[in-house]
Structure 1
Amino acid sequence: MNDPDRTKPLLLGYVRQHLLMTQEELAGVKDRLATYATTEGFTMGPVFVEQRESTPAAFEALVQAIGQYQARAVVLPSMLHFAVLGAPLAVKLTFEQATGAQVLVACPVDATP
């Protein structure tokens, strides 16, 4: 993290990179998450990117980071980004119960990858 504003709560990100997603598209998704964080009064922390070949490594790292950074929330581009881990709503509920961190969605309708 680059010099976070410690007066605002920290927001971590989670993105599932799909097979044909370019690095430019991924950067655009990260930018949208950062914009969401700013708009909603958070400081954007690391964004964990799930790679198809290493699932669920990024998710596991995210869970560890919640404790390490004492983050209270995680943002996804859409709930579909949890689909690689199981039924998105079930993953969300289990994640929130296990970590105490709230899952937020930057774009409730999945208009973006």
Structure 2
Amino acid sequence: MTHKICKECGEINSGSARYCSNCNSSLLDVKKTEQSTEPINYSKVQSIAYSSDTVTIGQWVGIMIVLAIPFINIIALFVIAFGEFNESINNFGKASLILALVGIVIAILLRGCTGLL
């Protein structure tokens, strides 16, 4: 029996499959192979997939130090949110910008409605 092994996730698919049943990646450029008795080493595939998702404590400490510097933190948030970083770091930057914008809008509304601030 022939099968195709996905290059993205390592999933074993039927020989006639066009897309991976696990991650929907194209299998058009994958060669058909015969069923082997040797098991597939999924730990290598998983370590590649998760290595780029891990943000170290040192990276977070560095980000927090930069964000503690007045005026630099605003520029740093835009760089973190839209730069070529890990997806987790980008999402942290975008969430921080959204919260800052909400705070600014609330401050403007309070000042306009009550004269406070």
* TM-score of the two chains, using structure 2 as the length reference: 0.23
Structure that is richer in helix per residue: 2
Q: Which structure ranks higher in relative contact order (CA pairs < 8 Å, sequence separation ≥ 6)?
A: 1
* TM-score of the two chains, using structure 1 as the length reference: 0.24
